[in-house]
Amino acid sequence: MRRTATTLADGRELIYFDEPDASGVYPPDRAAAVDTRTLDPRPLASQLRYDPLLDEWVAIAAHRQTRTFLPATDECPLCPSTPTHASEVPAASYDVAVFENRFPSFSDNPAEADLAVGAQVTPLSPIRPGVGRCEVVCFTPEHTSCFAELSPTRARTVLDALADRTAALSARDDVEQVFCFENRGVEIGVTLHHPHGQIYGYPFVTPRTRAMLASAVRYAAAHGGANLFGDILAAERASGERVVLADDLWTAYVPAAARWPFEVHVVPHRQVPDLAALNDAERAAFAGLYLRLLRAFDALFGAPMPYISAWYQAPTHAGRDLAWLHLQLFSIRRAAGKLKYLAGSESAMGVFINDVRPEEAAKMLREALR
């Protein structure tokens, strides 16, 4: 894989990740293409406000109200640029492209929060700058494609790009956790149809990660230092009832207490903290297994499945001895033509009620494999 970096018209970073052809030759340098647009100045960083009831930070990012929303195909900002349409990717083609989000939830443009030390909404709700990083990952130049239609080679390139960005963002002083994810489908709320994912460099450890690590600490204390993530993986493999796919390096299973109608955790057999720590064999094996899993999701009801694909990685500065990299893939579709909405119990109380037995979901997904 060849990595080349350049900048867009407003100074944001763009990185191309290119594959060689069958004879080992790379395409011409994509970074030679120049962004000819005249762009508005980059938005100021968001504002973080502290919620003392839940011990969580909430990002207030009002500039995102103006972000691009479901544009026409010939106006897509993620397609390669053409003589009649200059996009976020100046090159005429690409394999995988990663660039700073034009409408970021977190950024290193700190002015919104040129906040005085000790700034607060109330004495119980301090404010701080929403510094960090948000990036967009374009999986393919093909506007009407999807991740499930990628080749294993391209899926591996995407994984390598995510690992590259995880390592780079983890080295930043303003990033406490790196989150790589894909939202797919208008039912999920995507604002761009082009196949893409995102990367968030959070300036704090996320609430879900904190909760998982706290559980792991308690479990280790009660079980002689055992790793909770590893023991869950071992238990699911031993049972086998909810395992959907497995090989020598990865297991994909529906968790026993799945919250979503169709939810699969994809876990490496070796404890690693993040994507950057995966070795060559693990990366190669993941690409093929993941593509089969996505195709099974689409085959369940004979239509593209809306889903969220979320990588859980260790924080950059804490819990790395306990955390265990894993992917959570889940859909809000519970049956053909029916969606699972987060209504009163889920949205207000955080108590999930799943309409599909995890064992039945695993069985359906195994039958849909191809």
What are the pLDDT digits (tens) for 64-75? Answer: 988 899 999 999
Catalytic residue among 63, 85, 194, 196: 196
| Residue 134: predicted pLDDT | 97
* Short-list 35, 8, 45, 1, CA closest to 134: 45
Mean pLDDT rounded to a whole number for the chain = 95
Tens-place pLDDT, residues 301-341: 999 999 999 999 999 999 999 999 999 999 999 999 999 99
| Residue 116: predicted pLDDT | 65
CATH 3.30.428.10 fits 208-368, yes or no: yes
Burial of 32 (0-12, 13-18, 19+ CB in 10 A): exposed
DSSP H helical ranges for 278-357? 280-300
**Are 293 and 329 contacting, i.e. CB atoms less than 8 angstroms apart?**
yes
Q: What is the pTM of this model?
A: 0.96
115 pLDDT above the threshold of 70: no
Portion of the chain with pLDDT greater than 70, in percent:
98
196 is catalytic: yes
| Domains 2-204 and 208-368 fall in the same CATH topology | yes
As a CATH number, domain 2-204 is 3.30.428.10
| Residue 150: predicted pLDDT | 98
Burial of 157 (0-12, 13-18, 19+ CB in 10 A): buried
**Are 367 and 245 contacting, i.e. CB atoms less than 8 angstroms apart?**
no
Structural domain boundaries in the chain: 2-204, 208-368
| Residue 268: predicted pLDDT | 98
| Residue 36: predicted pLDDT | 95
Q: How sure is the predictor about 23, in pLDDT bands with cuts at 50, 70 and 90?
A: very high
